[in-house]
Amino acid sequence: MFDADDRRFMRQALRLAEKGLGLASPNPSVGCVVVKDGAVVGRGWHEYARKDHAEVVALAKAGGAARGATAYVTLEPCSHQGRTGPCADRLVQAGVRRVVAAVGDPNPKVAGRGFEKLRRAGVIVDVGLDADAAGKVVEGFACHVTTGLPLVVAKAGMSLDGKIGTGFPEGKAISSPAGREFGQLLRLGADAILVGVETVLADDPALTWRGRLPKGRPLLRVVLDSALRTPPAARLFARRADGGGDGIEAPVLLFCAAGAPAERQAALEAAGAEVVAVSGRGGELKLPEVLKELGRRNVLSVLVEGGSRIHGSFLARNLVDVFYFIVSPIVLGGAGAVPVVGGRGYEATATAPRFRMRGRWQVGDDMVLEAYPATSRSIVSPWLDE
């Protein structure tokens, strides 16, 4: 069904789609390449602020050359009226002869209707080229649009023996500069970053996007703090601009238990935080309620950066969709070193979470392991191959 040219042009469309990471949310990031007689006549990718979808941008650049052309698109063209008109209609009106799509749109408002509309108009439609790579680009969107909840992406920089801290105040950095840069790329693609209050108290992190690429939505900084122990003087409230210096202020959202002290809430709100109470017991907040609130705010993916107790809580409740372990070639040892996953642990290997690796690659001196638990809701989970 697909030849070498199809693969080459779809790879170009995928590279365009990746440009939308950090800019397309809460819409999916999509790339489109229009090809006529073996030559590219139009390219496009989606930025939420600019409204036009990738297909519309590419068709505008192609102009009359789109008639009889092939459009390579990473996601099924939409068939419904949203902020813009249906892309399937625009492709038909432009006279495109063939559409090659990587994946269907998981949005129930589309879900095959775009392909159906194209075929009814006589357009040849071929689907499935580079589906796994295209699915990865829209992983967060797919989770949110089908469940109403964000994709939960966990990340930890760790030693070879599975530690994220020495237990001593000195030398907190474990990952190499390249490993830390990879962590920033994860922040670029996320709508929110989440830590527990213990991380705030121990490290006083800013939790901002510090990369050079533009980020369309400010990174929502989320802290789980049942008793509101976050200091009002924490770096979170330094009013630092997010998104590569574009002046967008990154908001702070604190989740607490219903009985948290009112005077602490008032002080934190005065510092700039929004405080939301959720159910909890014994100092543990109900994480499904947290995720539901984030989903209500159109957070497509949340990056969980820890610490140890938070990772343990999310894994114990089967709420992690993908876990990035950034492994540095050092050993920390010591009974007081902090493990990647804290909490109660598992009494038997039979009950421990099982993972499958989707990828592994080197970043500087570190190795990144892209691991999916069996309970992952991701559309590219390796467990779906069964």
Neighbours of 265 (CB within 10 A): 16
Nearest to 370 by CA among 322, 331, 307, 298: 322
Which is it for the CA torsion 53, 54, 58, 64, positive or negative?
Answer: negative
Neighbours of 385 (CB within 10 A): 7
100 to 39, 337, 343: CA distances (angstroms)? 15, 52, 47
Q: Are strands 220-224 and 248-249 parallel, antiparallel or unpaired?
A: unpaired
Task: Return the ∠ at Cα 256 (arms to 252 and 258), rounded to 5°.
Answer: 140
Task: Determine which one of 18, 47, 55, 116 is catalytic.
Answer: 55
Which neighbouring-strand residues pair with 254? 223, 275
CA–CA separation, 179 and 185 (whole Å): 10
Instruction: Indicate the residue type of 282.
Output: G
Axis-axis angle for helices 87-94, 54-62 (nearest 10): 20
CA–CA separation, 123 and 68 (whole Å): 10
CA–CA separation, 36 and 48 (whole Å): 28
The owner of tokens 């801290």 is: 165
Q: Which residues, 6 or more positions from 59, have their beta carbon under 8 angstroms from its beta carbon?
A: 34, 42, 44, 66, 71, 90, 91, 94, 96
Known catalytic residue: 269? no
The owner of tokens 């469940």 is: 147
CA–CA separation, 382 and 386 (whole Å): 8
CA–CA separation, 286 and 39 (whole Å): 54
Instruction: Please identify every residue annotated as catalytic.
Output: 55
